[in-house]
Amino acid sequence: MMQGAAEAARWDTSKDLDFTNGAGTAKGLRAPVANGEAARYQDIFAVLQFSTGTRTIAATETRYIGGGEISTASTVVAFRAPRAGRIRNLYNKSTGTPGGSDTFTYTVYKNGVATALTAQTPGGASVSSDTSNVVSVAAGDQIDVQCVVSATGATRGHQSTIEMIMA
């Protein structure tokens, strides 16, 4: 625990983070200052995982992936964002390759509309990613991942993860 005026100056008490839960509100989580620099706060991250679970997606199918479930409708399996923030770093993995020149195309949807977060897994691979696009989300937005299997692509299970940075 820090003591004294010099040490207290190293904490910025005006930037407490609020976390509300069923038991009430907890405040605190102040970030110490390193080397006398201004206070910097770590972003609060969450990793959203979307998976077909034990189900698979076959050739020519377009499905929306939720938390262990798939659907033909985006909002049926969507995750609702608990807070405003940004989503980024889409990573995808399938239980095998699409095969040949076929592809698996993954697109993040927000409120039933395609976003810029998209990646395509080519025939000889089982992973793909988009680490360059960032999408803003509001509290309550519905987020899910669309997976499109090309014409003769192999039937596989799919998993996607997205990083969410809370505002």
Residue 145 — pLDDT band, cuts 50, 70, 90? very high
Task: Specify the range with the lowest mean pLDDT, choosing from 41-50, 59-68, 109-118.
Answer: 41-50
pLDDT tens digits along 55-84 = 999 999 999 999 889 999 998 999 999 999
pLDDT recorded at residue 80? 94
pLDDT recorded at residue 44? 81
Burial class (CB in 10 A: 0-12, 13-18, 19+), 65: buried
The pTM of this model reads 0.76
Residue 42 — pLDDT band, cuts 50, 70, 90? low
Structure tokens given for 18: 């609020």
DSSP string, 46-85: EEEEEE-TT--B-TT-EEEE-BS-EESSGGGSPEEPSS-E
Angstrom distance (rounded) from CA 107 to CA 12: 40
Distances (CA, A) of 154 to 69, 104, 125, 157: 19, 9, 12, 10
pLDDT recorded at residue 160? 97
pLDDT above 50: residue 111: yes
pLDDT recorded at residue 28? 43
Higher pLDDT, 71 or 28: 71
Task: Specify the range with the lowest mean pLDDT, choosing from 19-23, 77-81, 132-136.
Answer: 19-23
pLDDT above 80: residue 25: no
Angstrom distance (rounded) from CA 52 to CA 41: 35
pLDDT recorded at residue 41? 52
* Residue-range domains of the chain with CATH: 1-34 (no CATH), 44-166 (2.60.120.40)
pLDDT recorded at residue 91? 98
Is the separation of the CB atoms in 42 and 31 below 8 Å? yes
